[in-house]
Amino acid sequence: MLTLEEVQYQIENQLFHNRNKSLFYTLANGDFVLEPSEETLTMLKHKSKELSDFITAAKDDSNYQDLLDFVVEKNVKLFLKANQYLNFNDEDLRELEGVYRLLFNQLQQLGAQTELSDSEVDNLFRAHYENLQSFLLQTNGENLFKKYKESSDILSIQCAEYQSEFQIELLNIDLTMIQEPILDVGCGSQAHLVEFLRANGIEAYGIDRGIDSSNYLFNQNWLEYNFKPNTWGTIISHMAFSNHFMHHHLRPDGDFETYAKKYMEILQSLKCEGSFLYGPSLFFIEEILMSSNQPYSIEFMENTTKITKLK
């Protein structure tokens, strides 16, 4: 019988096969440009009974949830690698898990009867790709995917990771004066700045969707993260939170309100005299903050805004 590792390998191989193809582009006959790889076709046509037996057995132990967690994680990483502005909360991840539960149930039922025919494989993948389309549209809106309908090659929108020294200079950080503890929001998968600060004896933490968790690095969506009041001496976000906030501010269907609420939650999580340092600036909300009676001072520096909590 197939093992969990073998099935995971096949899933990863299939995702790699379609990595540069647009899920939203279809050919003149309505077919997707995404397709099963030769390895996947071989498994479905000649090992469908083994795959069905594996799924049946896996449902009786922890292997099934492990498989679902694996495929959800791999899909999300692939989505975010293509477009950093996609956002998935915990409920969305459960929806994506449901998409794959359905696929595995279909594979279990079809494979238990006979080897799959070409038409059965085609119908299975077409339905699965349509479900993935629906999932992305439901969670992130139609506007974000308009360009993906125009080309079979995926439109890649990625973010860069900057060296720690460059970020310190750009954000005008004085390491002798910075208030601890520090949280880097959107620290990147390598957490360059966090690692640099900790190597210099500064208490620093990082949060990012693409990072491996540790006792000071948190793998989490910042919109899901709980910024507790009066916790942080300094919060830093270079080309991360404010870029996404601006993106949603400009998008016709953007989730501006959620980002505005999270922005205020970040400010409230600062200690007295603590600061939120970010770039680029967000003039549309900074003007509102300046005209309010909120206990914050705002300093505009080149490429950076510094918000300090006064009390």
> What is the DSSP code string of 166-229?
HHHHHTT--TTTPPSSEEEET--TT-HHHHHHHHTT--EEEEETTS---SSEEES-TTTS---T
Per-residue confidence in pLDDT tens, the chain, 311 aa: 789 999 999 999 999 999 889 999 888 788 888 889 999 988 888 888 899 999 999 998 888 999 999 999 999 988 988 888 899 999 999 999 999 999 999 999 887 777 778 888 889 999 999 999 999 999 999 988 988 888 888 766 555 566 677 677 767 788 888 999 999 999 988 898 999 999 989 999 999 998 889 999 999 999 999 999 999 999 999 889 999 999 999 888 889 999 999 999 999 999 999 999 998 899 999 999 988 888 999 998 877 899 999 98
Number of H helices, E strands in the chain: 11, 7
Q: Give residue 100's pLDDT.
A: 97
Q: Give residue 155's pLDDT.
A: 61
Which residue, chain included where needed, has tokens 């970010």?
Answer: 278
Torsion over CA: 171, 302, 265, 76 (sign): negative
Q: Give residue 159's pLDDT.
A: 56
Identify which of 258, 278, 270, 261 has the alpha carbon closest to the alpha carbon of residue 296. 270
Q: Give residue 271's pLDDT.
A: 97
The CA distance from 167 to 187, in Å, is: 11
Instruction: For the beta carbon of residue 152, count every other beta carbon within 10 angstroms.
Output: 15
pTM: predicted TM-score of the whole model, two decimal places = 0.76
Q: Kindly report the length of the chain.
A: 311
Q: Give residue 160's pLDDT.
A: 53
Q: Give residue 210's pLDDT.
A: 85
Cα 147 from chain centroid (whole Å): 19
- Residue 307: its H or E element: strand 304-309
Return the amino acid letter for 255. D
Decide if 232 contacts 183 (C-beta within 8 A).
Answer: yes
Q: Give residue 85's pLDDT.
A: 87
CA angle (194, 199, 202) in 5-degree steps: 70
Decide if 36 contacts 43 (C-beta within 8 A).
Answer: no
The CA distance from 71 to 132, in Å, is: 13
Q: Give residue 162's pLDDT.
A: 62
Q: Give residue 302's pLDDT.
A: 77
